[in-house]
């Protein structure tokens, strides 16, 4: 099994990641002590070296909270969990670095997707506006293309410590754009530990499973650069899948996901058309119950619905046939509609702040 960090397929068999790539499972202690739905609901599935960050959280010592997004398209509800976990670690005592990766988005993707840096910056404004409206603090954000000189100096230093053969062994190919993007990603994750920033301390970055090759590379680099770095830790999260049967969210089929910019009624309509784990008829549903484990409505709620007790009830009512899919869809559509109405109100002020951060004072 190989993993392509730039590929678009879902990693179906997460189990192999534990066996072949040495990811560790989240312990029961961590799951019960870190009160966030991503831990409680198994959205965080594994980690690399997270225990040392956990120790710092529990003993109230500082740690680095570093995450980012590549600005290669519109943000959808699947991205929201990254921002939610970042906020959780900030509230848990993190020193915060949220990267808006506009250069990465442009140089590592084909022109058919991101034709220019300017397009990546437009997405940067869009993505950052949503992130700010979701509660990200502008003080914690930086944009790669506007980052200070020391960061770029450091990215070039990093380039000395990764060879062509190492790069090929990890990623399976060489591509100058992707190499450039990688150097910036390594700098993103490691630079907060430079003496000019926070200095040496544990750091946590939240990634999807296909980003794990980057993490393995950066952990190795941490030990070979001429600084006293703590190898960075990572949490691995699962993807929110698309709304149709078995499908990943797809940019070419907007019906497969709910974008944070969707008009609330459009978003509610997508929810009403989603694939469920229900039975073909109401009578069968009442007799046999539904299957929330394959249901896109339930999955959407698992990632986004804040009420644990109500979610558990819904799961049990589904299995017992006490609820039918129409009711469940209506509840979810209403939740999404209300969420987006509030979110779009906050977006009005966030857009101007995002433009200032991406383009500078104008």
Q: Is 53 exposed, middle or buried, given 0-12, 13-18 or 19+ CB atoms closer than 10 A?
A: buried
68 contributes a contact to ligand SF4 by CB under 6 A: no
Nearer residue to ligand SF4 within complex by CB, 105 or 314: 314
- Pick from 57, 75, 29, 103: nearest CA to 249: 75
- Chain residues 294-353 in contact with ligand SF4, contact rule CB under 6 A: 295, 297-298, 318, 323, 325, 328-329
Nearer residue to ligand SF4 within complex by CB, 80 or 329: 329
Radius of gyration for the chain, computed over Cα atoms and rounded to the nearest angstrom: 21
- Chain residues 203-262 in contact with ligand SF4, contact rule CB under 6 A: none
Q: Are 162 and 221 in contact (CB under 8 A)?
A: yes
Q: Are 190 and 205 in contact (CB under 8 A)?
A: no
Nearer residue to ligand SF4 within complex by CB, 36 or 329: 329
- Pick from 326, 323, 304: nearest CA to 314: 323
Nearer residue to ligand SF4 within complex by CB, 77 or 298: 298
202 contributes a contact to ligand SF4 by CB under 6 A: no
Nearer residue to ligand SF4 within complex by CB, 42 or 159: 42
- Chain residues 71-110 in contact with ligand SF4, contact rule CB under 6 A: none
- Pick from 88, 101, 133, 95: nearest CA to 235: 88
State the nearest-atom distance from the C-beta of 84 to ligand SF4, in Å. Answer: 22
- Pick from 115, 230, 215: nearest CA to 170: 215
Q: How many residues line the site for ligand SF4 (CB under 6 A)?
A: 13
290 contributes a contact to ligand SF4 by CB under 6 A: yes
> Which residues of this protein are in contact with ligand SF4, per CB under 6 A?
276-278, 290, 292, 295, 297-298, 318, 323, 325, 328-329
């Amino acid at each position: 099994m190989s993993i392509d960090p730039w590929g678009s397929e879902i990693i179906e068999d997460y189990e192999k990641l534990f066996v072949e790539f040495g990811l560790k499972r989240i312990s029961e202690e961590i799951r019960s002590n870190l009160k966030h739905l991503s831990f409680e609901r198994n959205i965080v599935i594994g980690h690399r070296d997270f225990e040392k960050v956990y120790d710092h959280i529990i003993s109230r010592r500082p740690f680095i909270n570093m995450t980012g997004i590549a600005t290669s398209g519109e943000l959808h509800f699947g991205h929201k969990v990254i921002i939610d976990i970042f906020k959780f670690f900030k509230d848990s005592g993190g020193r915060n670095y949220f990267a808006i990766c506009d250069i990465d988005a442009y140089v590592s993707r084909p022109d058919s997707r991101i034709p220019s840096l300017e397009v990546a910056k437009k997405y940067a404004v869009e993505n950052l506006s949503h992130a700010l409206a979701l509660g990200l603090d502008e003080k914690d954000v930086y944009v790669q293309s506007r980052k200070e000189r020391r960061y770029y100096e450091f990215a070039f230093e990093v380039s000395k410590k990764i060879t062509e053969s190492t790069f090929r062994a990890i990623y399976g190919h060489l591509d100058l754009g992707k190499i450039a993007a990688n150097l910036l990603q390594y700098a993103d994750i490691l630079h907060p530990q430079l003496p000019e920033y926070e200095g040496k301390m544990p750091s946590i970055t939240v990634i999807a499973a296909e980003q794990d090759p980057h993490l393995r590379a950066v952990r190795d680099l941490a030990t070979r650069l001429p600084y006293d770095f703590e190898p960075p830790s990572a949490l691995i999260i699962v993807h929110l899948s698309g709304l149709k049967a078995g499908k990943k969210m797809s940019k070419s089929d907007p019906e497969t996901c709910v974008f944070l910019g969707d008009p609330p009624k459009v978003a509610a309509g997508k929810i009403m058309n989603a694939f469920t784990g229900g039975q073909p008829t109401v009578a069968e549903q009442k007799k046999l119950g539904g299957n929330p484990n394959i249901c896109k409505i339930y999955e959407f709620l698992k990632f986004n619905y804040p009420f644990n007790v109500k979610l558990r009830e819904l799961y049990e009512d589904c299995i017992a046939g006490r609820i039918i899919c129409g009711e469940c869809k209506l509840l979810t559509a209403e939740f999404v509609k209300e969420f987006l109405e509030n979110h779009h109100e906050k977006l009005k002020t966030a857009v101007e702040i995002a433009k200032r951060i991406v383009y500078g004072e104008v």
